[in-house]
Amino acid sequence: MNERKDEERTGQLRWSGGFAAAVAILLLCFAAPGRAQDAENARKLTLKEAVNLAIGNSRDLTLARLQYGIVQREAGVSRSVFRPNLYTGTGVAYTNGFPLLEGGGAPAIFSLTYNQQIFNPPLKGDQRAAEQRAQGQQLSIESTRDAVMVRAALGYLELAKVRHELELMRSERLSAGRILDATRERADAGRELPVEVTRAQLTTARIEQRVAQLEDRDDSLSGELRDMMGLPEDQQIEVTTEDFPLAAVGATQDLVSQAMANNIELKVAETEKRAREEKLKGARGGYWPTVGLIGQYNVLSKINNYTDFFNKFQRNNVVFGLQVQIPIFAGHTSPSVAFAQADLNAANLAVQNKRSELSLDVRRKARQVRETDLGGEVTRLELQLAQENVRVLQAQFDQGRGSLKDLETAHLEENDKWLAFLDANYARQQAELDLLRTTGQIAKVLQ
């Protein structure tokens, strides 16, 4: 990190000689009032601050929490049959003959009914499966949070890269302009072919195109970050070219172990497997008796011909006790067990596949991190070589032994190496964030 900062300072001082320094000073003088005004409206943010703001204002995360609340309430519905349930009501019915209502009850002026399941394996299996799925939905909140963190971090890091590239391209535009002027002078003097002027114009046009593309990307990324962080549309964002510690450094086998223990998608698959296990256990319990607690209080009336069928009338009637149902033949039990067993087999296979895919994915991403790291080192050395070349040509130019065109061409090459270095560094950061999320360590780094 210190080496890279030294290289950045070296790159920023490369205009210390002659005409380039004078032009840079004039541009700074003209741009100072506008930049000062922008600085007043800008909000400085670190990477972690941007990520935390994105988490706090994420609509996706809010939706995931609402969905978790829905699943929790669904589990509460399944749980309610094992809790006391008390009902009351009244009604009027015409009877002819023995006084009965539909279902076998006697017509009552007022009725109070109580029921509660004490032992019912199929319903208990449904309840526990719903609770396991609620835990899976809670894990989905963490998955959504990690996705928001990665999206915010990548947007922040890319914005920092784009703004650094803009600085380089604007200085490259100065060099290209000076090369074009020098080429035109030499062509007018008959010391350059006209095609060289066209070539210099093409280089300048490409730089202008690249600057416009970067400015558009800057505006787009700034808008996306403001939306994620809940900032006003006119709020300027100031970012820094910071890095983050890679907590996923280690042997590949250690990374695989961390992923097996922390990967959220694998946890969700295992939670679904446990839910189906509970469902199978409940389905198998359908062969056992069920026990429920029941109670009823009725206020009866003589208007339904009670005296014609009973010798004694009692207005207040109470029933309370246990209701035991013993299955002798239940046609739905065997198909339910078979279905639950097949469902569990599919969940077991899904977990095994997920473990295998996760192991391969972690190894691939670990290799990708290593490759991008090596690629970054190559671009760093190429940049260092280009900077040393600029210093040599600058010294020769100061001594009157070099041409301005060669010096500015070297500056263009140095800028190109800077751009390649920034792209390689961002690719490394992308690979690292992807690996951190897969191994379940992203929250430790960015929060």
Q: Which of 326, 352, 383 is the last residue of a domain?
A: 326
Tell me which DSSP letter residue 105 carries: P
Alpha carbons 283 and 276: distance in angstroms, whole number: 10
Query: Per DSSP, what are the bridge partners of residue 294?
Result: 115, 321
> In the chain, how many domains are there?
2
**Co-location of 304 and 437 in the same domain:** no
Arithmetic mean of pLDDT over the chain: 84
Together in a domain, 135 and 274: yes
CB-based burial, 48-73: b 16+ in 10 Å, e otherwise: bebbbbbbebbeebeebbeebeebbe
CB contact at 8 A, 124 and 78:
no
How far apart are alpha carbons 76 and 66 in whole angstroms? 15
Q: Are residues 90 and 127 in the same domain?
A: no
pLDDT of res. 243 = 67
Q: Tell me the β-bridge partners of 299.
A: 110, 316
Tokens of 172: 């490259």
Answer whether 197's CB lies under 8 Å from 419's CB.
no
Q: Is there a single domain that holds both residue 151 and residue 99?
A: no
Which of the pair, 317 or 436, is modelled with greater confidence?
Answer: 436
Q: CB-based burial of residue 79 (10 Å sphere; 0-12 exposed, 13-18 middle, 19+ buried)?
A: middle
Asked if 184 and 283 sit in the same domain, the reply is: yes
Tens of pLDDT, residue by residue over 353-392, are 999 999 999 999 999 999 999 999 999 999 999 999 989 9
Asked if the model's pLDDT at residue 15 lies above 50, the reply is no
* Integer Rg of the chain from CA: 37
Alpha-carbon distance of 74 to 62, in angstroms, equals: 19
| One-letter amino acid for residue 316 of the chain | N
* Same domain, residue pair 304 and 219: no
Q: Give me the percent of the chain exceeding a pLDDT of 90.
A: 51
Largest CA distance in the chain: 135
Distance CA 97, CA 306 (A): 10
pLDDT-based confidence at residue 300 (cuts at 50, 70, 90): confident
Cβ(300)–Cβ(283) below 8 Å: no
Could you give the 3-state DSSP secondary structure of residue 42?
A: strand
Q: Residue 20's closest CA among 394, 384, 388? A: 394
Q: CATH number of the domain at 18, please.
A: 1.20.1600.10
Q: Are residues 117 and 292 in contact, defined by beta-carbon separation less than 8 angstroms?
A: yes
Q: Are residues 177 and 309 in the same domain?
A: no
- Three-state SS at 228: helix
Q: Which of 172, 149, 145, 164 is nearest to 238 (CA)?
A: 164
- Do 136 and 268 contact (CB within 8 A), yes or no? yes
- Per-residue confidence at 21, pLDDT binned at 50, 70, 90? very low
The string of pLDDT tens digits covering residues 117-148 is 999 999 999 999 999 999 999 999 999 999 99
Check residue 323 and give its pLDDT. Answer: 83
pLDDT band, very low/low/confident/very high, at 409 (cuts 50, 70, 90): confident
Helix (H, G, I), strand (E, B) or coil at 293: strand
Boundary (domain end) residue, out of 326, 343, 372: 326
Per-residue pLDDT at 249 exceeds 80: no
Range of the domain at 63: 2-83+120-288+327-446
| Length of the chain counted residue by residue | 447
Same domain for 69 and 106? no
Max mean pLDDT among 233-242, 347-356, 431-440 falls in 347-356
Q: Residue 82 in contact with residue 124, Cβ under 8 Å?
A: yes
3-state secondary structure 8-68: HHHHHCCCCCHHHHHHHHHHHHHHHHHHHHHHHHEEECCHHHHHHHHHHCCHHHHHHHHHH
CA 133-332-350 angle, 5° bins? 35
Give yes or no: residues 312 and 441 share one domain. Answer: no
What type of residue is 168? L
Task: Give the pairing of strands 110-119 and 236-238.
Answer: unpaired
* Number of neighbouring beta carbons within 10 Å of residue 392: 13
Band (13; pLDDT cuts 50, 70, 90): very low
Find the helix or strand (DSSP H, E) in which 107 lies: none
Do 160 and 232 fall within a single domain? yes
Residue 37 region by backbone torsions, left for phi larger than 0, else alpha for psi between -120 and 50, else beta: alpha
User: Which tokens belong to 65?
Assistant: 């929490």
Helix (H, G, I), strand (E, B) or coil at 402: coil
Per DSSP, 185 falls in state: H
CB–CB of 83/114 below 8 Å? no
Residue 387's identity, in one-letter code, is Q
CA dihedral 358, 361, 363, 364 (to 10 degrees): 180
Are 195 and 283 found together in one domain? yes
The three-class DSSP label of residue 144 is: helix
Both tokens of 26, joined, read 């004039």
Q: How far apart are CA 18 and CA 25, in angstroms?
A: 11
Verify that 255 and 361 share a domain, yes or no: yes
Determine contact, residues 183/200, Cβ cutoff 8 Å: yes
